[in-house]
A and B are shown apart, each in its own frame.
Chain A
């Protein structure tokens, strides 16, 4: 009678004890040293895992920072405050953050372009663009159902007159809208970028003119006007080499359709950052 209770208790007890001791020993023998610095940096980072820094999420960037293989100041969403925190953990001077902002390379508002069909399907850019390339006349342009608006965690994008518009004061350059846009018309640009082409249409000039009144027709005037070899036309579409652009504005003046314009976000962002610092 007594044995019937004792045997199972002893056997389960021994198995449990063996498992416990085995785990404890294994934890000591096979311990992996935890990088405390990387841990601290990871906690300082925003934790959005957006990939704007070019690493596999915040953890990857924290690890690279603690090993000294990554330059500081790549965290654009974190901004100046995170840069200061990282600097204090690493014991270095805070690095200047290169502000980035999302740029919608389309200006095809309802007035500038039109629709080619009555679309009654799912109200999302991904679905609409699968259906004959979207509702707009231009198959390269903004679909306007706001997939990017839904993806933005900072409320920096809204659909205005059929085109997504980024508010640079709120945009943290996290890259989420860039990945979600089915037309790939959003790109991250450095806030210093001066002239930008707000068009992605790669059709021939005549075709483009039929589709949109502000589409790039590839007339090469901006290329000739640029003194710094910063504007190039490829596939009937002009694009600016932001490293070379000085922001002289000559290409803006000669553009017959007005699709090149200045991007003045740096001052807006700096003002915002200064305000944030004053508040915190």
Chain B
């Protein structure tokens, strides 16, 4: 139980994928203009992270490692995740059209997102068990959601500000992103210190 809470808190706050590990920056900057789309994108990311972990963990632990092929990790994971997301997309369109419509373009967009690949690979670097890996994937996804929604809120506020001409657009977005990231540094040590 203690382990589970530690994993969740480190995934969401201390080791936030976007703001501390700097993974998945392109959707973070690209799809964060509106809170609605940011939340939709994040929902798709949580979903894909979960199923990607569900499938890649057994392949790595029970197929690649026994054969001594763990160096193939990255290429096999990309292959499996891409195929899986395509499959899920086809299935969703058939059986759950409303969900398919609301996830829309975001589902194929995140097939090879580095945050998704990162969570599957980092699961093994941290020596997680299957259950812990799934929990970590969920935590990482929720952390992504948190970062996206907070940053979308910041950007919506930026719209109404009088920004100097030379900083308009991407520059001010990057400045804002670094400030949000700085604020997350304040969570450092929270997960380890919680049960001491």
The interface of chain A, by Cβ under 8 A from chain B, is: 7-8, 11-12, 15-16, 19-20, 22-23, 26-27, 30-32, 121-122, 126-127
Partner of B91, one of A20, A26, A127: A26
Question: Which residues of B in the span 58-93 have a Cβ within 8 Å of any Cβ on A?
Answer: 59, 63-64, 67, 69, 72, 75-76, 79-80, 83-84, 86-87, 90-91, 93
Q: Does B157 contact A (CB under 8 A)?
A: no
> 5 tightest CB-CB pairs across the interface, nearest first?
A19-B83, A30-B94, A26-B90, A30-B90, A8-B69
Partner of B69, one of A11, A19, A30: A11
Contact A23 B90 (CB under 8 A): yes
Contact B93 A23 (CB under 8 A): no
The secondary structure that dominates the B interface is: helix
Partner of A126, one of B72, B94, B95, B160: B160
Q: Does B162 contact A (CB under 8 A)?
A: yes
Contact B87 A11 (CB under 8 A): no
Residues of B within 8 A of A8 (CB): 67, 69, 72
Q: Please measure, in the bound complex, the distance between the C-alpha atom of A265 and the C-alpha atom of B32, giving whole angstroms.
A: 42
Residues of B within 8 A of A7 (CB): 67, 69
Q: Contacts A23-B87, A30-B91 given; 14 further ones with Cβ under 8 A?
A: A11-B63, A12-B79, A15-B76, A16-B79, A19-B79, A19-B80, A19-B83, A20-B83, A23-B90, A26-B87, A26-B90, A32-B93, A121-B162, A126-B160
Contact B93 A30 (CB under 8 A): yes
Residues of A within 8 A of B75 (CB): 12
Contact B72 A127 (CB under 8 A): no
Contact B67 A11 (CB under 8 A): yes
For chain B, which range describes its interface: under 10, 10 to 19, 20 to 34, or 35 or more residues?
20 to 34
Interface Cβ pair total, 8 Å cutoff: 47
Give the Cβ gap from A144 to chain B, nearest Cβ, in Å. Answer: 19
The secondary structure that dominates the A interface is: helix
Residues of A within 8 A of B95 (CB): 30
Residues of A within 8 A of B76 (CB): 12, 15
Give the Cβ gap from B73 to chain A, nearest Cβ, in Å. Answer: 11
Question: Which residues of B in the span 88-140 have a Cβ within 8 Å of any Cβ on A?
Answer: 90-91, 93-95
Contact B160 A27 (CB under 8 A): no
Q: Please measure, in the bound complex, the distance between the C-alpha atom of A126 and the C-alpha atom of B87, giving whole angstroms.
A: 45
Q: Please measure, in the bound complex, the distance between the C-alpha atom of A122 and the C-alpha atom of B162, giving whole angstroms.
A: 7
Give the Cβ gap from A151 to chain B, nearest Cβ, in Å. Answer: 15
Contact B79 A15 (CB under 8 A): yes
Q: Please measure, in the bound complex, the distance between the C-alpha atom of A22 and the C-alpha atom of B79, giving whole angstroms.
A: 13
